[in-house]
Amino acid sequence: MAGIVEAVHRSAEYTFSKAKTDSIRLIEGLGVEGDVHSGTTVRHRSRVAIDPTQPNLRQVHLIHSELHEQLGEQGFAVGPGQMGENITTRGIDILGLPTGAVLHLGATAAIRVTGLRNPCGQLNGLQAGLMKACITQDGAGNVTERRAGVMAVVVSGGEVRPGDAIVVELPDGSAEPLRPV
pLDDT tens across 98-107, in order? 999 999 999 9
Average pLDDT rounded to a whole number, residues 140-154: 95
Q: Dump pLDDT digits (tens) for 112-126.
A: 999 999 888 899 999
Average pLDDT rounded to a whole number, residues 134-149: 93
Average pLDDT rounded to a whole number, residues 52-58: 94
Tell me the pLDDT band of 173, cut-offs 50, 70 and 90. confident
Average pLDDT rounded to a whole number, residues 50-63: 95
- Say if strands 165-169 and 2-10 run parallel, antiparallel, or are unpaired: antiparallel
